[in-house]
């Protein structure tokens, strides 16, 4: 089927991102705009409209108003996803040669920023959940241990990046982590790609956005956790640790010179949905509906894992000896399309549209899968062999740009990687350019290859 045809059919239950669920949950104003003469809204940075970096015009006004409503100093809308704004943030935070402290479960976009910005990714290990193969959240004590080691390894640390909530919806106590980072006089960037809707503070039992705990920079993917069109995103900034001039300079470096007016309008309207009363009401009822669905599935003995995001359902497939990647294929055949298939789990994103009638179908498919595969023993994952803090052996950018050769994983011991090994989704690198392939890493990668057969190759590119 051709692309245009594929875009126009909708025969499945969409439990994947974008969160607007094939248009169902798009803000009314965007729906109305899209019903006008096709293309009428596709405009350049005309005088009255402006752009994210232009100080006058409708977009400047809109950004000012969004920042005011959310209670921060500034914000910039983005048209290249959280990816683009995370990368701009990193370039604003550190100079070439400086290090940025980041967790091992960082999104690949941040490593790419280090690559082209000449920054040193100082990667720290995070707790690991062996029953499902997920990176978990950590507390202040863990971070203190990380700081101690990081300072032994690297003198010039410019900033810290945190990822919260995770793709699967686990959330840490951000208040204490941000305080700890600030006690080292460092700025913190929070990749809150999966937590835009937390700015609504809709219920006290849900996590709060890092914005409310004083994070210096926070990036939201508005299509992942708000009802924005794909590629819409926003960067929020507050306090005086990061110079807005540096942020704008970095956005200009990476942003297209023709940002889409439709995407910028989508940024505006999806943020409004999270702060205005009608949108909040809709969000609240989606969350309540999602909680009912989770309760229903748990009552029917579907193995769901706990998380902090009511809109994400984690099916624990390895508990029954099954790979989430295989289970995903079965669900797709039965027309339920999930978001994140991993070796031990399959995560479904309910997004912001309604899925009222899905419960029974979900249970039926899961029970069919269990019957077809037969009851199997649960399996566990080995902890990745990462040290508490590590720095690539050779600079990331140098390694990526070096001449390379392709060697069999088994024969790569002692070599330096020239590439990133990174299943997508979730886009969390297992190996980055400049890292050494020691015995433990190679053994672990070979094991991971069995879990991700279509995503990890037998070969790795190493510096010649």
Out of 62, 66, 221, 345, the only residue in the binding site for ligand PLP (CB under 6 A) is: 221
Tell me if 91 sits within 8 A of 113, measured CB to CB.
Answer: yes
Q: How far is the CB of 11 from ligand PLP (least distance, A)?
A: 25
Q: From the list 119, 160, 174, 193, which residue makes contact with ligand PLP (rule: CB under 6 A)?
A: 193
Rule CB under 6 A: is residue 198 a binding residue for ligand PLP?
A: no
> Which of the ranges 29-37, 124-132, 355-363, 420-428 carries the binding residues for ligand PLP, by CB under 6 A?
420-428
Residue nearest to ligand PLP according to CB distances in the complex: 81
Closest CA to 160 of 92, 75, 93, 78: 93
Provide the H-helix boundaries in 322-438.
324-333, 358-373, 396-401
Which residue, 192 or 365, is less far from ligand PLP as judged by CB?
Answer: 192
Q: CA-based Rg of the chain, rounded to a whole angstrom?
A: 22
Torsion sign over Cα 8, 14, 17, 19:
positive
Residues 124-163 that bind ligand PLP (CB under 6 A): 163
Q: Which of residues 377-416 bind ligand PLP (CB under 6 A)?
A: none
Are the CB atoms for 125 and 131 separated by under 8 Å?
Answer: no
CB nearer to ligand PLP: pick between 344 and 426: 426
Name the residue nearer to ligand PLP (CB basis): 233 or 315.
233
Joined tokens for residue 439? 């015995």
Lay out the site mask for ligand PLP across 95-114 (x = CB under 6 A, - = otherwise).
------------x-x-----
Among 233, 274, 350, 432, binds ligand PLP (CB under 6 A): 233
**What residues contact 263, with CB distance under 8 A and at least 6 apart?**
77, 79, 229, 231, 232
Nearer residue to ligand PLP within complex by CB, 269 or 412:
269
Under rule CB under 6 A, residue 425 binds ligand PLP: yes
SS3 content of the chain, % helix, strand, coil (to 5): 40, 15, 45
- What is the secondary structure of 70-136 as a DSSP string? HT-SEEEEESSHHHHHHHHHHHHH--TT-EEEEETT--HHHHHHHHHHT-EEEEE---EETTTTEE-
Quote the strand ranges of 335-458, DSSP E: 336-337, 340-341, 345-349, 389-390, 404-408
Q: Which is nearer to ligand PLP, 123 or 437 (CB)?
A: 123
Q: Which stretch binds ligand PLP (CB under 6 A): 6-14, 65-73, 189-197, 440-448?
A: 189-197
CB of 166 to ligand PLP, least distance (A): 7
- If we measure between CA atoms, which residue out of 240, 235, 224, 276 comes closest to residue 69? 276
Residue 82 binds to ligand PLP (criterion: CB under 6 A): yes
Chain residues in the site for ligand PLP (CB under 6 A): 81-83, 107, 109, 163, 167, 191, 193-194, 221, 224, 233, 425-427
């Amino acid at each position: 089927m051709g692309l245009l045809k594929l875009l126009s059919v909708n025969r499945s239950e969409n439990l994947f991102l974008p969160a607007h669920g094939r248009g169902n949950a798009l803000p009314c104003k965007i729906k109305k705009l899209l019903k006008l003469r096709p293309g009428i809204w596709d405009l350049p940075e005309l005088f009255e409209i402006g752009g994210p970096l232009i100080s006058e015009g409708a977009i400047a006004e809109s950004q000012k108003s969004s920042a005011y409503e959310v209670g921060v100093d500034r914000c910039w809308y983005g048209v290249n996803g959280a990816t683009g704004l995370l990368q701009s943030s990193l370039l604003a935070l550190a100079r070439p040669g400086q290090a940025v402290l980041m967790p091992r479960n960082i999104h690949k976009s941040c490593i790419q920023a280090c690559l082209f910005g000449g920054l040193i990714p100082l990667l720290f290990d995070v707790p690991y959940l062996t029953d499902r193969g997920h990176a978990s959240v950590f507390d202040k004590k863990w971070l203190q241990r990380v700081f101690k080691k990081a300072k032994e390894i690297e003198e010039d640390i410019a900033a810290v990046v945190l990822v919260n909530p995770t793709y699967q919806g686990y959330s840490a106590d951000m208040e204490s982590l941000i305080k700890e980072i600030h006690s080292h006089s460092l700025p913190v960037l929070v990749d809150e790609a999966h937590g835009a809707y937390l700015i609504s503070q809709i219920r006290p039992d849900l996590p709060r956005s890092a914005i409310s705990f004083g994070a210096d920079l926070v990036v939201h993917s508005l299509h992942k956790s708000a009802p924005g069109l794909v590629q819409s995103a926003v960067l929020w900034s507050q306090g005086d640790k990061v110079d807005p001039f540096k942020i704008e300079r970095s956005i200009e470096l990476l942003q297209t010179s023709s940002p889409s007016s439709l995407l910028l309008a989508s940024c505006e309207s999806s943020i409004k949905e999270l702060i205005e009363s009608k949108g909040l009401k809709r969000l609240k009822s989606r969350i309540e509906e999602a909680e009912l669905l989770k309760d229903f599935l748990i009552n029917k003995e579907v193995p769901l894992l706990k998380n902090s995001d009511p809109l994400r359902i984690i099916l624990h497939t390895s508990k029954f000896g099954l790979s989430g990647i295989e289970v995903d294929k079965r669900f797709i055949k039965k027309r339920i399309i999930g978001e994140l298939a991993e070796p031990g789990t399959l995560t479904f994103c309910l997004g912001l549209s309604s899925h009222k009638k899905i419960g029974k179908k979900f249970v039926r498919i899961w029970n069919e899968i269990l019957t077809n595969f037969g009851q199997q023993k649960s399996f566990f994952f080995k902890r990745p062999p990462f040290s508490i803090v590590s720095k690539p052996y050779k600079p990331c950018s140098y390694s990526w740009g070096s001449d390379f050769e392709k060697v069999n994983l088994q024969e790569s011991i002692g070599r330096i990687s020239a590439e990133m090994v990174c299943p997508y989704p979730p886009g969390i690198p297992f190996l980055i350019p400049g890292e050494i392939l020691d015995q433990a890493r190679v053994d672990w990668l070979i094991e991971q290859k069995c879990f991700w057969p279509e995503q990890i190759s037998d070969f790795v590119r190493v510096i010649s």
